[in-house]
Amino acid sequence: MHIIESGNVAAANGVKLANVKVIAAYPITPQTPLTEKLSEFVDAGEMDAQYIPVESEHSALSVCIAASSTGSRAFTATSANGLLYMNEQLHWAAGARLPIVMCVVNRGIGSPWTVWNDHQDAISQRDTGWIQLYCCDHQQIIDTVIQAFYLAETVSVPVMVCYDGYILSHTYMPFEIPKQADVDKFLPSFKPEYALNPNQPANLNTVTLPDVRPDVRGDMAPGYMEIRHNLHADMRDAIDVVGDIDKKFNQIFGRGENPYIETYRCDAAEFVAVCLGSLSYHLRDVVDILREEGIPVGVAGLRLYRPFPDQAIRDMLADLKGVIVFEKALSYGNQGALFADIKAALYSSKNRPKVHNYILGLGGREIKTAHLVDALRNSCVDTDKVGDTPVWIGLKM
């Protein structure tokens, strides 16, 4: 069934179709309509789930951690400072290997207060051990939420599904709601890897010592370093799992085939603009204009940010003349986080391209197509003109 609705409603429908059993969330703009929709579903009996109201985001994720630890499929959602308030529990959920799924409706973080969109919230949490997926439109939001549970539960790593506040969360777009029977065929039921079991009482996530130690049966149990190593190793393996899940999804629903990077006019391109989220669709217009001018440029939107799909990045960008990274976030005192990641991925390539960095749209600052055209043209016409430091677009000073 196709409907015209907001991105938040698309996400809520994905959660409903995924048969989530426990939802705990604290409302925060621009995530609020998503949680409101979910509470409506539960109240109307359309979802067989527990909706647990909490007094904070820290508690929201704590409830999800507890629910997931008993083997229930759990979901939460937040934005901006709400995500930051979860920070301690984000690390905990990842280390405890709990496959919680969370929508992060991207918003700039305070101070100063802003309710508008940028990516600083999710980017600042990139090293928590969560998988991060980014969406460009409403269809991707609902599809990605469903896939996220599959992914999280396959690798026992929690997943953030990130989408732009307002630009996607509050705008209306047509999208297809998959059939429940198809989703049930796609998404296996949740069999937790690590859950509390009254028949075998245990403490989960107990204190570790610097070294490994024998457990109660005399077998060697992993220490802190082994557990952290395995989280990293499983995150790296998750890159292939994302590809496999995309294939299966494509077979059933006929959508997908771009699990890592979604490209537009990258055929015979010498320059490619790279970004996260809905900005990549905005950049399609920009690329169309520059292609008219004869500039061989395309755009690539990253769908997977953590784990970082560096091989796919190299395959796509290693032999270009220029890569131009547009970012709505910044590693303060250094450069754009995505910019640094892209450069690191390309460093070992022989003919590595010039890489430029533009910072834009912070706190919802309007992103004008004309500004994007100028910036991208500048970077393509003379690759030496723009240096290695980030250039700010739309800054009024």
Of the ranges 42-50, 100-108, 198-206, 340-348, which one interacts with other proteins (CB under 8 A)? Answer: 198-206
200 near other proteins, rule: CB under 8 A: yes
Contacts of 262 (CB under 8 A, 6+ apart): 136, 280, 300, 301, 303
Give min distance, CB of 195 to other proteins, in A: 11
- Of residues 50 and 205, the one with the C-beta less far from other proteins: 205
- Of residues 35 and 147, the one with the C-beta less far from other proteins: 147
Contacts of 211 (CB under 8 A, 6+ apart): 223
- Of residues 171 and 208, the one with the C-beta less far from other proteins: 208
Contacts of 213 (CB under 8 A, 6+ apart): 220, 221, 223
Contacts of 208 (CB under 8 A, 6+ apart): 222, 223, 224, 227
94 near other proteins, rule: CB under 8 A: no
381 near other proteins, rule: CB under 8 A: no
Cα 58 to Cα 61, 64, 220, distances in angstroms: 6, 10, 34
CB 360 within 8 A of CB 330: no
328 near other proteins, rule: CB under 8 A: no
How many angstroms separate the CA atoms of 352 and 333, rounded?
25
CB 323 within 8 A of CB 300: no
Contacts of 239 (CB under 8 A, 6+ apart): 260, 304, 307, 309, 311
**Count of C-beta atoms within a 10 Å radius of residue 131:** 25
How many angstroms separate the CA atoms of 148 and 242, rounded?
9
199 near other proteins, rule: CB under 8 A: no
Of the residues 4, 204, 225, 344, which one makes contact with other proteins according to CB under 8 A: 204
Give min distance, CB of 220 to other proteins, in A: 7
For 218, the token pair is 């005399």
Of the residues 44, 181, 216, 268, which one makes contact with other proteins according to CB under 8 A: 216
Window 134 to 193, contacts with other proteins (CB under 8 A): 154-156, 193
Of the residues 52, 53, 72, 224, which one makes contact with other proteins according to CB under 8 A: 224
Window 95 to 134, contacts with other proteins (CB under 8 A): 95-97
235 near other proteins, rule: CB under 8 A: no
Among 164, 107, 118, 116, which Cα is nearest to 141's? Answer: 164
Q: Which residue pairs, CB below 8 angstroms and at least 24 apart, start in 37-43? A: 37/8, 37/9, 37/12, 38/12, 38/75, 41/12, 41/16
Of the residues 205, 263, 331, 378, which one makes contact with other proteins according to CB under 8 A: 205
Of the residues 43, 48, 184, 215, which one makes contact with other proteins according to CB under 8 A: 215
237 near other proteins, rule: CB under 8 A: yes
231 near other proteins, rule: CB under 8 A: yes
Of the residues 189, 199, 206, 351, which one makes contact with other proteins according to CB under 8 A: 206
Of the ranges 24-32, 106-114, 167-175, 203-211, which one interacts with other proteins (CB under 8 A)? Answer: 203-211
Alpha carbon 93 to its chain's center: 16
From residue 44 to residue 83, what is the string marking binding to other proteins with x (rule CB under 8 A)? ----------------------------------------
Residues of this chain that interact with other proteins (CB under 8 A) are 95-97, 154-156, 193-194, 200-209, 213-216, 218, 220-222, 224, 226-227, 230-231, 233-234, 237
